[in-house]
Structure 1
Amino acid sequence: MSALETIRSDLSGTTGTRFTVVLGDITRLSVDAIVNAANSSLLGGGGVDGAIHRAAGPDLVAECRMLKGCKIGQAKITKGYRLPARHVIHTVGPLWNGGANGEDELLAGCYSNSLGLAREHGLRTIAFPAISTGIYRFPATPAAGIATRIAVAESADGAFGEIIFCCFGDEMAGLYDRLLPEALAGA
């Protein structure tokens, strides 16, 4: 991590996985993979998606075109190109429609499928943004709860060295600071 990131929490799970809450820019993290909160086309957009595409450069769009999109809750992987991260795992989060349309399960799928791809490719360090909490309007507290619970559960096999929750603002980082110890205690 560069000096631009601030570590908020740094905890270890029972299998040795390190869980870190960082306040900063996900495009600057030197990890095996960063996760992109993508739209279904995978061709770039606003927010985290746009920032990742701008930082990675045009080769990312070219590779994403070959993937022919991605369904909500699923994940696909590409190279990182100009990013310090070696790979980008693209996942499409659900649009919040009140919670009665399977949004929790779809968001959980984003995290479990992203971690599954990381495991399949032997990637040990992975950084997540707060998927679906921006323009997709998923409420922050349940979204962070899902993220932390799934990450802790998926790391039970010891496949990961570090899972980072990279937050853009203090409020979201504070939620992860509070919910991550609860998820670890419940594991």
Structure 2
Amino acid sequence: MKEVLIATNNLGKAKDFDTLFKPFGVRVLTLNDLDEPIDVEETGVTFEDNAILKAETVARLLNKIVIADDSGLEIDALDGAPGVYSARYAGPEKNDGDNIDKVLKELAAVPTEGRTARFRCVLAVAGPGIQTETFSGSCEGLIHTERKGTNGFGYDPIFYVPEQGRMMAELSPEEKSLISHRGAALAQLKVQLPQFMESVGDHK
């Protein structure tokens, strides 16, 4: 069976990719399926840098087609921060609550119209026989002054989606998938899937 490895330990992300590849008869693997752990240090300064770094490093080590993503929050009033540091904005322990507290504190004096932001996701596809390509998606919104909602993770409780009239954390998983930054990037990747499938080898 043909295999594609997703460079993530996040089972939620894996399900999104499994849905995408299933019609092609492709088995989706993640870093959790490897005998030896692979940890790629994200040293890039952009989402593109980190996605490419992860995809190419793992693809080279395993000689497989690999898809990696990097994503986060960009706030205009903070010159694009937290950006690539979204998960560890308040410290290396990657605490969602602390990250939100830091953002709210830094935006305390910023009026509603100046709190524009977006979630961004970049997917990179790398492997033997193909040229590395990237696909990106975004979701525009505003940073609210307080938390609302219990769904999602990360900055979802303070990310207001104008078209929905609700926070990202107030949306169901199905509603979120239709408008999310990762969903948009996956939609771009889907268009290119047939050509990638020609490069994916069969594995016993």
TM-score normalised according to structure 2 size: 0.24
Considering only CA atoms, is the larger Rg found in Structure 1 or Structure 2?
2
| Higher relative contact order (Cα pairs below 8 Å, separated by 6+ residues) | 1
